[in-house]
Amino acid sequence: MTIIASPFKTSNTKGLIRSAGLLAACSTMVLLSACVSFSGIQSDAQLKSLPATSSPNTLPNQTGTWPSTNWAQSIGGKPLQDLIDAAIADNPNMQMAAARVAAARAYVEAAGADRLPTAGANLGSTYQRFTEHGLIPPPLAGNYYSDNEMALSISYEVDFWGKHSAEISGALSQEKAALAEQQSARLALSSAIAHAWVQLARQYAQLDLSNQQLGLREKLDSLTQQRVKAGLDTRTDTEQSLVQVSSLKAEITQWQEAIALTRNQLAALLGQGPERGLSIPRPSLAEIGDATLPAQLPSELLGRRPDIVAARWHVEAMQGGIDVAKTEFYPNINLSAFVGLSSLGVADFFKSGSTIIGGGPTIKLPIFEGGRLRAQLKSKVASYDNAVATYNQSLTDALHEVADQVQSMKAAEEQNKNQRIAEQASSRTLKLAQQRQKVGTANMLPVLAAEGALIMQQKILLDNQIRRADLQINLIKALGGGFEAGPELRAPANNSTQTSNQQKSQPEAA
């Protein structure tokens, strides 16, 4: 229900009567609106906090530093960093993230515009015949005239309850969430490229070792055939050698396929066609060091993980939605005014008597909309609860991801040490076999067998080193990949939103 009052010129008596009537109507509406309340609708969700310290059993070796933004240099050097930089510039996912940021900024501008007065102009002319049996008297009735009007109108919504401020606050929070999500998408893309790069390095190295194995098997096959001709071996030995040679050739084909597919994957991550993958140079990995964690972990993880920062700003945005929904329970006042010209026929249009001018407030009070408004507020509270749960889950996942990667890297480091011992023992075995072969105490077969055993150990060692590189990338990602929330993205303390929500959940005088 709305009440409109326009300050047209009237006599004093009429003006007093009109003012008294308006006051009485407003009083009645205020009393009726008191039955529309949001009492009992509030959130009990609580934001979690990360502990200031952690157990050395789960997060040990906290003597390192946070990853830098160019962490890829430590994995694959400049070639890998160049690929990541190119992908960030051209990948469609990054472009979509940038578009979401632009949309959020436009929403902030739109929310800010609602706080300002609006002005508009209209010009209309309608040529029509006026009925002889209506309210229009002769000589207008029964004749054709043009109904002309030109006016300038201004309106302004009085923000008594902070609706527009809440809208702007929510829009700004959504913009900051979009910015953090953009950084999260960047980190996900960077780590995906780094993982593919590491796998490409593994596939090339395994292909080289498989080719070495094939060369050894072909030498063994030649020796076996000679021994069969000499009667020292049977035909069965020749067939077994052929099986192993064929298996190695099939394995080589699999590695070649894997290389081609990984190149295609990298090209897709770069936002390019498959031809781009052919120009990627063969990767070379840097030596992976032992796992270390920053000393400020876990307390500073809140500002280092873009997904946590985004989740926190989503909570703030949902709080803004609650605040906006609550203002709908209160009266809404719009002030409007207009000035212009209006006449029947063009001849008198620009005469002073054609002037029209008016203005007044429009007051809207919710009376029988309690069910709809309460349902709307409940929906906003539910969205807030969901945002809080998402934020809390992101904290739990973040700590688990860091702890899991550290534990896996510790195990991989131990496996790497043991595997190096095995690889060194195989290397010594090969040297001993070569020495015996040179002095004539053994033939070539033990040498080839020892060389084949060494290659098998080298394959296992390679896979372990690649696993350590993958785990290092996962740990860097779990630590935020060099992201650090600056002043523009730093989220408020966890208790600020809860206090605001609890205070504003209590119904004010309605």
Nearest alpha carbon to residue 73 among 62, 58, 84: 84
Which pLDDT does position 492 carry in this prediction?
Answer: 82
Return contacts of 251-259, CB within 8 angstroms, 24+ apart: 251/210, 252/207, 252/210, 252/211, 252/214, 255/203, 255/206, 255/207, 255/210, 256/207, 258/199, 258/203, 259/200, 259/203, 259/204, 259/207
Buried b (16+ CB within 10 A) or exposed e, 366-404: beeeeeebbebbeebbebbeebbebbbebbeebbebbbe
When the pLDDT of each residue in the chain is averaged and rounded to a whole number, the result is: 86
Q: Is the pLDDT of residue 15 over 60?
A: no
Which pLDDT does position 285 carry in this prediction?
Answer: 85
The 3 state secondary structure assigned to 184-242 is HHHHHHHHHHHHHHHHHHHHHHHHHHHHHHHHHHHHHHHHHHHHHHCCCCCHHHHHHHH
Output 217 or 337, whichever has higher pLDDT: 337
pTM, two decimal places:
0.82
290 phi/psi in degrees, rounded to 5: -70, 155
DSSP-derived secondary structure for 254-269: HHHHHHHHHHHHHHHH
**In the 8-state DSSP scheme, what is residue 126?**
E
Sort residue 93 into left (φ over 0), alpha (ψ -120 to 50) or beta.
Answer: alpha
Domain 1-33+116-158+331-365 has CATH 3.40.50.11260: no
Cα 272 to chain centroid, rounded: 22
Band the pLDDT of 333: cuts 50, 70, 90. Answer: confident
Name the most confidently modeled range: 20-34, 285-299, 347-361, 484-498.
347-361
Which pLDDT does position 26 carry in this prediction?
Answer: 56
CB 72 within 8 A of CB 84: yes
Cis peptide before 67 (omega within 30 of 0): no
Instruction: Give CA–CA dist 22/157, Å, rounded.
Output: 19
Q: Looking at this protein, which amino acid is placed at residue 381?
A: V
Mean pLDDT for the stretch of residues 206-213: 96
Half-sphere exposure of residue 198, counting CA atoms within 13 Å on the CB side?
26
Cis peptide before 492 (omega within 30 of 0): no
DSSP-derived secondary structure for 425-485: HHHHHHHHHHHHHHHTSS-HHHHHHHHHHHHHHHHHHHHHHHHHHHHHHHHHHHTTTT---
3-state secondary structure of 31: helix
E strand or H helix at 283: none
Which pLDDT does position 18 carry in this prediction?
Answer: 54
Both ends of the chain: CA-CA distance in Å?
A: 16
Instruction: Give CA–CA dist 220/248, Å, rounded.
Output: 13
Which pLDDT does position 29 carry in this prediction?
Answer: 54
Question: Which CATH architecture group holds 48-114+160-198+255-329+369-505?
Answer: Up-down Bundle (1.20)
Query: Who contacts 237 (Cβ-Cβ below 8 Å, separation ≥6)?
Result: 224, 227, 228
Band the pLDDT of 3: cuts 50, 70, 90. Answer: very low
The Cα angle at residue 416 between residues 411 and 421, in degrees rounded to 5: 130
pLDDT tens digits for 80-124? 999 999 999 999 999 999 999 999 999 999 999 988 999 999 999
Query: Who contacts 345 (Cβ-Cβ below 8 Å, separation ≥6)?
Result: 145, 146, 148
Which pLDDT does position 209 carry in this prediction?
Answer: 97
Mean pLDDT for the stretch of residues 486-509: 62
Output 427 or 55, whichever has higher pLDDT: 427
pLDDT tens digits for 354-375? 899 999 888 888 877 768 899 9
DSSP-derived secondary structure for 306-328: HHHHHHHHHHHHHHHHHHHHHHT
Query: Who contacts 382 (Cβ-Cβ below 8 Å, separation ≥6)?
Result: none
- The β-bridge relationship of strands 332-344 and 144-158 is antiparallel
Which pLDDT does position 17 carry in this prediction?
Answer: 52
Sign of CA dihedral 345, 348, 353, 356: positive
**Spans of all domains in the chain:** 1-33+116-158+331-365, 48-114+160-198+255-329+369-505
